[in-house]
Structure 1
């Protein structure tokens, strides 16, 4: 939580400057012309001790003990007692200490307990101090609570994002190991290349993807490595097109944000096909918008996994949630299933 604001990071200095400002403001309000400014300044200076008493007892005793505990009746009663005590203290200092010591020749000592003077001091001079410090503490409490809520929201968001990101990693690894398993069963000579590509992919997932954002070009390179694996698996059966356009080199994006769409195209739209299959991926950056379109063949009778299906399409459900958290008002996601094709159209506003 952020520390309270202090002038020059100095708490005593801040309090001293506040009381100097208080004296100047009250003097300026009551002084009638420049000739009387010094006179009224001395008068306000005499009233400063009870004001300080009210301010600090209210902020550091009454507020935490009663007001913050919502004991408003008790707070009000003790506030009245505080105002009365401070008024008596102020009268006693003026009549018994200050005036006899500094103005002995020009003043007459009066009684301390004069009702209307005590009441005037309570209502006119000290009540504004009480109310001001109360408002100050309430405002400070509200600021602290807002900061706490924001920190908790950020922690909750970070925890959920890390959980969602962690889900992508084993999900992707599971799919890739399945591909490798199929190739080893066939004693395919390309199996070593698969292991090499898998090593590159795992390096990306273990190290690069740990940051909050990374270069879009790295995410695209990750997709290209994944596509190379799929090409080795499907060989000539696969007609694949990857098109990248626009300035991608200085743009940043959350890691592992695009790969689930590509995985979904192969796992749910291609892997069950027996005829010629195709996948088209278009990635374009224009006017600070990233546009990603993933389209694949689909001729089966089963519904392709969608965001509304709770048992399939883990990657897509995951990515939809991450998009809402990371780009709540800066993305558009459309998923369409037609008779012979499946299309994902994603747009993200880049910062």
Structure 2
């Protein structure tokens, strides 16, 4: 949440900085061509003039921020032209109404300037200026999205190369692996059914992990949940069902939602495995808490565990970093991945907004 707010403030400040620089350049040009006294003379005082300039800059920056980041970019991303265009029109009308009240009711601009326009003429001209700003904003948004797309393509290429390198470094013949697991399962199914079941679970999980899921590893949420549960079950068998785990699941309109929601493969499993690797799962009073909530518009997933004491298993944090990168590539600003920790506990949280996402 805080990361999302910080990102939006950066956008606001960027627009404010660019618009301020542009407006200052325009003002300085007018001052140099017409002279300082000619430009400031219609105003009540120099302070009134500079106050009007500050108002114009702040107002313009806010308008361009909304037009670019709140209206144009969603239009480009979703292609839902009717919905966004219906938002453009009321916003432009609102700007025109504000300008009319500011100029003709509040009276904060010089009478000499205000008297050049009748209210009707002013409304038409100002609405036309709003349309021009909307067109400019759309082209700027198109440029921003094109640059972001190029960056994402570059990032995908890097990840592809890294994946290929990893495959070379850790190459193993999957057929040999699964044939071996099948052999072990056959030998143990009668004498030790629980061990055989664990082997079977491991085989299915590894088959899922090694499957080719396309460029982003995009899989149905239902499949990722199913494999995650197998990971939990296999670890319980591994530790003789002595692990203290609370798993809470709420899925709204289960069949419809799960069939239409997608996540990067292994993201939920990675968070669960991280808890198994670094968490204390033997403390009954501090159980590992795994929570999943899925609605038509949102996915919430969190894992909280008590930290393991003593020597810790070595970790480079690659798994969690990979989760963050792949969520960003697939969902952009419509997701958040948060890590919170203190001396005793570690918490990871994923939120994905599914609205208007193909």
TM-score (norm 1): 0.45
More helix by share: 2
Larger Rg: 1
TM-score (norm 2): 0.44
